[in-house]
């Protein structure tokens, strides 16, 4: 057994929620979720390697789950320096210590090596967990390439039976055989999981998703696996599902679609702009999240640029029905460029929540900075006066579709100049709606053909759009 951690490290974790390595470049928060009822203690650590982002996002969501019994300690971002540069190894650290997940092998003094591993180890020693989960990602699928541990659960000897439950649970959502998860044993020496099993007697597992898949999908897989263990331990009840992403704080909760059909700079720009508001909570969602009713916890959903047809076909009929149900029940919908196409009523893959169709099937009009004139309602909503210039890239040119049961849209801005490349018809863009809004049952729909999120001086426009569209 290792010697006791020095009082210096113990003092760092004396509080409940707190910060490890405060006032250093390693500073990172940890969270202690108490149920108030006797039960197991589970520790979740994520973000050990900077190029493995999914675990950090999943852990940050899981820490908001209410417990039925026991205690949960979560360290979502164990290695801030590496996460900031999105690199596997910690920058500015000697080669022998740059891999945080090999630093739990004891050094000459019997303690974990480096700067951060001793602090995380002190947290584990303080709380004496029965279970330890370390959330990671591989670069491929272990079923295809044995050199990677992607899409596996690596279990210590005492955790094998529970690990089988996690593998079975996550594989229910995996339709491609070569991408299915496998159970592996013998955690690598020097890793947190190996040390927790050997020196603390904990049942420990490394949960490995595969980084080539979309981030929200990988985050979902991590949530599914953690949720299955917590259900097995009776630490969460039926009120908590693996779909749960948001906190219980009173903030406007926004779902941003980041899956098949979403492309370009839209998603990162929207994330940055909305996260500038403290009263917004934004999470990226995938097709599977939407199909499993995850939108119910949000006030608004945003579909950004890319391919409207790609988004609509990826959602499928079930996913499109779920978006319609969400908006019709009072949720907000914001579509930018491709997301505006998706809302329309002229395509088989469209959501049909906006009484509009496109003027021409030749949609590849090109990319240009276009003059746009705001209507009085548009000026009031976005705080912009008169004409302004905005980036345009193949967004829809809308006209009424005259669909029974859908209300007319209101124009908030008009295109006043045009681009017409690739054989697209000339003359039809000028005086076409650039931004429109409407109602769909109890919900609100706002569609933007150009890209204000990628136009300087318009960084606040998506914030104002959410303020208008969000669930009342």
CATH 3.40.1030.10 holds for 252-469 = no
Which residues, in sequence order, are CB contacts of 146 under 8 Å at separation 6+? none
Cα distances (angstroms) measured from residue 353 to each of 85, 139, 293, 377:
41, 39, 18, 21
Whole-number Å distance between alpha carbons of 230 and 240: 10
Q: Residue 2's pLDDT is what?
A: 41
Residue ranges, comma separated, of all CATH 3.40.630.10 domains in the chain are 7-232
CA dihedral for 378, 368, 343, 54, sign (positive or negative): negative
Which residues, in sequence order, are CB contacts of 291 under 8 Å at separation 6+? 315, 316, 318, 319, 322
Q: Going by DSSP bridges, is the β-strand pair 410-415/367-374 parallel, antiparallel, or unpaired?
A: antiparallel
Whole-number Å distance between alpha carbons of 221 and 227: 10
7-232 topology per CATH: Aminopeptidase (3.40.630)
Whole-number Å distance between alpha carbons of 132 and 288: 27
Give the residue from 201, 1, 229, 220 showing the smallest Cα distance to 106: 1
Q: What is the pTM of this model?
A: 0.93
Task: Give start and end residues of each alpha helix (H) in 150-190.
Answer: 160-171
Count the Cβ atoms, other than its own, within 10 Å of residue 257. Answer: 31
Would residue 338 be called left, alpha or beta, if left means φ above 0 and alpha means ψ between -120 and 50 degrees? alpha
Q: Residue 11's pLDDT is what?
A: 33
How far apart, in Å, do the first and last CA atoms of the chain sit?
Answer: 57
Judged by DSSP in three states, 206 sits in strand
8 A C-beta contact, residue 192 and residue 104: yes
- Kindly write down the DSSP assignment for every residue of 395-454, as one continuous string: ---EEE---TT-PPPEEEEEE-S----TTPPSSSSTTSEEEEEEEETTEEEEEESSBGGG
Residue ranges, comma separated, of all CATH 3.40.50.880 domains in the chain are 252-469
8 A C-beta contact, residue 50 and residue 80: no
E-strand stretches of 304-431: 332-336, 356-358, 367-374, 387-393, 398-400, 410-415
Torsion of CA 222, 226, 229, 230, to 10 degrees: -160
Q: Tokens 């650590």 label which residue? A: 45
Regions of the chain short of the pLDDT cut 70: 1-15
> Could you report the per-residue pLDDT of 424-468, keeping only the tens digit for each?
999 999 999 999 999 999 999 999 999 999 999 999 999 999 999
Whole-number Å distance between alpha carbons of 105 and 307: 48
Q: Residue 319's pLDDT is what?
A: 98
Whole-number Å distance between alpha carbons of 394 and 420: 10
């Amino acid at each position: 057994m290792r010697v006791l951690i020095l009082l210096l490290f113990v003092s760092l974790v004396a509080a409940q929620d707190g910060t490890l390595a405060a006032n250093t470049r390693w500073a990172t928060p940890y969270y202690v979720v108490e149920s108030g009822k006797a039960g197991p203690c589970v520790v979740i650590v994520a973000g050990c390697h900077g190029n493995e982002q999914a675990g950090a996002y999943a852990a940050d969501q899981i820490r908001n789950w209410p417990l039925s019994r026991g205690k949960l300690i979560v360290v979502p971002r164990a290695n801030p320096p590496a996460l900031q540069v999105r690199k596997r190894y910690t920058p500015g650290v000697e080669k022998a210590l740059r891999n945080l997940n090999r630093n739990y092998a004891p050094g000459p003094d019997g303690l974990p090596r480096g700067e951060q591993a001793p602090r995380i180890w002190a947290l584990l020693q303080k709380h004496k967990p029965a279970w330890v989960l370390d959330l990671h990602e591989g670069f491929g699928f272990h079923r295809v390439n044995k050199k990677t541990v992607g899409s596996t659960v690596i279990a210590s000897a005492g955790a094998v039976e529970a690990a089988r439950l996690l593998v079975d649970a996550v594989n229910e959502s995996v339709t491609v055989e070569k991408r299915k998860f496998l159970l592996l044993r013998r955690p690598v020496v020097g890793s947190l999981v190996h040390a927790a099993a050997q020196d603390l007697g904990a049942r420990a597992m490394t949960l490995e998703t595969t980084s080539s898949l979309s981030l929200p999908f990988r985050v979902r897989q991590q949530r599914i696996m953690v949720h299955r263990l917590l259900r097995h331990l009776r630490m969460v009840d039926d009120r908590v599902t693996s779909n749960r992403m948001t906190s219980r704080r009173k903030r406007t909760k926004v779902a941003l679609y980041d899956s098949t059909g979403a492309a370009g700079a839209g998603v990162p720009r929207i994330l940055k702009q909305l996260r500038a508001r403290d009263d917004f909570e934004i999470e990226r969602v995938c097709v599977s999240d939407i199909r499993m009713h995850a939108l119910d916890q949000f006030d608004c959903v945003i579909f950004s640029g890319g391919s409207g047809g790609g988004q609509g076909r990826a959602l499928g009929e079930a996913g499109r029905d779920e978006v319609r149900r969400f908006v019709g029940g009072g949720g907000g919908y914001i579509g930018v460029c491709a997301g505006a196409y998706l809302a329309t009523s002229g395509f088989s893959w469209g959501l049909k929540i906006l009484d509009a169709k496109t003027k021409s099937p030749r949609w590849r009009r090109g990319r240009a900075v276009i003059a746009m004139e705001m209507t009085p309602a548009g000026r009031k909503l976005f705080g912009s006066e008169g004409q302004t210039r905005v980036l345009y890239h193949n967004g829809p040119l809308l006209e009424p579709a005259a669909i029974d049961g859908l209300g007319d849209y209101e124009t908030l801005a008009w295109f006043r100049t045009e681009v017409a490349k690739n054989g697209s018809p000339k003359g039809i863009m000028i005086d076409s709606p650039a931004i429109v809004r409407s109602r769909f049952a109890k919900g609100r729909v706002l569609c933007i053909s150009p890209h204000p999120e990628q136009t300087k001086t318009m960084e606040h426009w998506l914030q104002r759009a959410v303020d208008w569209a969000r669930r009342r």
